[in-house]
Amino acid sequence: MSEFCKDKVAVVTGAGGTLCSAIAKDLARKGAKVVLIGRTREKLEKVASEIMGGSRSGATADAQERVPPSVRIEPGDVTDEKAMQEIADRVLAEWGPCRYLINGAGGNNVKAMPTRLRFSEADLQGGSRSRATEDAQERVLPADRGFWDIDMEAFKSVLEINTIGTVVPSRIFGLQMARAGGGSILNFGSMNTYRPLTRVAPYAMSKAAIANWTMFFAQYMAPAKVRVNAVAPGFFVNERSKQYLMTPDGGFSARGQQVIAHTPAGRFGEAEELLGCVEWLLDDEKAGFVTGITVPVDGGFLASAGV
C-alpha cells in the first residue's frame, strides 16, 4: 500500500460528488487524515460512513463528534473566504497543516444553458422571452431557448463556483502549506478546458480559466515548495451527467451517443480510473518536478477528431 500521504492532512472540496468522494476514500485508505468539505452535510456523512466502513442514519448537529479521527466533516461554501478560513483554522489546531488540497467543488446550472445549439432567427427577439416571470419566486425560462434567453444570474453563479470556489481554498490552504514547508494542490478542469462543448458556455469559460489559474499559482507558489496541478476528466458518469448522457433504461441519449462516438475507448470513465493520475500528481516522490500542468484523463476524447 502506498504511504505517500500517511498521517498527512488532505482537504477535499466537493467531497460529496462522485469523483471527489472516490478520491477522498482512496486517500483515506492510504492513511491520510481526510477533511470533507461540501455544501450538503448529508452527502458528506455518507462519504464519511463509507470511509469508516460503517453506516449511520440521521445526520445531526453533533455528527462531527461521532466521526472517527481519520475523517472529518466540514460543511461550507468554498466561495466564502471567512467560512473557509474558519475550517482551515480548526483543521490546523486539531490535526495540523493541510498537506494536500483537492479543489473538486464546482458545477453547472441548467438555467445558464441554451437548448438551441446555434444562432437562429428566434434569437433576434433579443431575449425578450427570458424576462422573469413569477413562479414560487423563481425565474422560469422557456423550454426552447437560445443564448439570449438564458438567466445571466445563473451564468454568473457557474463562473463563481468553478473559479472563485477554486481560488479561495487555494489561497487559504496554500498559505497554510507554505507556512508548513510545502504541499500539493490539485484542481479540476474538464474537456471544456480545451474546447468549449455546446450549451455550457459559463462552465467552459470557468474550466478554461482553471488551467490558466493552475499555471499562474504553480509559478507563484514554487518558492514555497507548493506544487499546483490539475486533472481534466473526460466523460465520467455521475448523477448529474446521467440526466443528459443516458436514458432512463440505461441506454445512451443522443448526446451520450455523440460522446461515445468521439471517445476511442468506447465507453464512459469510472471514478476509480482517475485515482492513479491523482496519486501521481499529489506524490512528491513520483511527481516532485511536475507543477503547472493539466492532465486529461479522457479515454482519448481529445485525441479524436470524430472523422
Single-letter code of the amino acid located at 156: K
Task: Quote the domain boundaries for residue 170.
Answer: 9-112+162-241+269-303
Out of 57-66, 110-119, 132-141, 227-236, the most confident range is 227-236
Q: Which of 100, 194, 203, 220 is catalytic?
A: 203
Average per-residue pLDDT for the chain: 90
Predicted model pTM? 0.90
Question: And the C-alpha cell for 52?
Answer: 469508516
- pLDDT value at position 254? 86
**pLDDT tens digits, one per residue of 259-292:** 999 999 999 999 999 999 999 999 999 999 999 9
Residue 157 lies in a domain: no
* β-pairing verdict for 226-233 and 183-188: parallel
Cβ(202)–Cβ(155) below 8 Å: yes
Q: At residue 59, does pLDDT exceed 80?
A: no
**pLDDT tens digits, one per residue of 84-143:** 999 999 999 999 999 999 999 999 999 999 999 999 999 998 665 545 444 444 556 778
Q: Is 203 a catalytic residue?
A: yes
Residues 25 and 88 in one domain: yes
Give the mean pLDDT of 57-68. Answer: 48
The tally of CA atoms less than 13 A away on the side-chain side of residue 150 is 23
Residues 230 and 141 in one domain: no
Residues 236 and 175 in one domain: yes
How many domains is the chain partitioned into structurally?
Answer: 2
CATH number of the domain to which 94 belongs: 3.40.50.720
Question: And the C-alpha cell for 264?
Answer: 476511442
Residues 48 and 95 in one domain: yes
Question: How many other C-beta atoms are found inside a 10 Å radius of the C-beta of residue 170?
Answer: 23
